Amino acid sequence: MSGAGNENSEKWTWSARVIPNVVPRAQFRTTLTYRLHPKLTTGVEFNPRAATAGDRVNPLVNWVAVTETARRPALILGTSSDRIGTPRGQSFYATFSKNLKRATKLPIAPYVGISYGTYEHRWLPLAGLTVSFTRKLSSTVIFDGVRVHPLLNYTHGRHAFSFVLAFANKPGFSYSILF
């Protein structure tokens, strides 16, 4: 999670994720977001394999409430569909993130936070770590409060590709494009 805000000229992002052999809602997901402001993105998530029509579309909001500085972490608030292992629901989250490269000389950026999921009606801890190997290649490990999901990410211009291991053992792929 980046806490710097986004100043790119592209305002739209379309993405698709495929993870076979997980709950149907999470097997295929596509999103379309629009950056209203460098700190505020909104959009829609579509999960065509969700059990009911009401569970197929979820709102997306990501707000960098406090930007990251050399000394201060970012505070990010938002909402999306509930975690990968749930058949339905919405989540509401708050995270603190900080790129620690300047302080540690290591290309790492951790985040911690909390999420409330409407499927189980409970609060869960969140955590993650991104390690940048090169300008284009990185790895992210996500803990959604229940399970770990490692990713290997490659970016090229406006395109981003990710290999995902949902639940640390269910392979999938994600693609995003900025426009």
What total number of domains does the chain contain? 1
Residue 153 lies in a domain: yes
Residue 3 lies in a domain: no
Q: What percent of the chain has pLDDT over 70?
A: 96
* pLDDT at 8 (0 to 100): 75
Residue 143 lies in a domain: yes
Show Cβ contacts of residue 167 under 8 Å, excluding neighbours closer than 6 positions: 22, 84, 85, 147, 148, 149
Residue 5 lies in a domain: no
* pLDDT at 1 (0 to 100): 53
* pLDDT at 5 (0 to 100): 60
Confidence of residue 54 (pLDDT cuts 50, 70, 90): confident
Position 128 pLDDT exceeds 60:
yes
Confidence of residue 22 (pLDDT cuts 50, 70, 90): very high
Residue 4 lies in a domain: no
Average pLDDT over residues 137-156: 98
Domain with residue 27: its CATH number is 2.40.160
Residue 106 lies in a domain: yes
Q: Whole-angstrom Cα distance, residue 166 to residue 163?
A: 10
Mean pLDDT value across the chain:
95
Closest by Cα among 155, 113, 148, 163 to 132: 155
Residue 99 lies in a domain: yes
Position 4 pLDDT exceeds 70:
no
Average pLDDT over residues 69-88: 96
pTM of the model: 0.91
* pLDDT at 36 (0 to 100): 98
Instruction: State the residue range of the domain holding 32.
Output: 12-178
Position 139 pLDDT exceeds 80:
yes
Q: Give residue-wise pLDDT tens across range 92-118.
A: 999 999 999 999 999 999 999 999 999
Range list of H helices, 17-137: 24-27, 101-104
Residue 1 lies in a domain: no
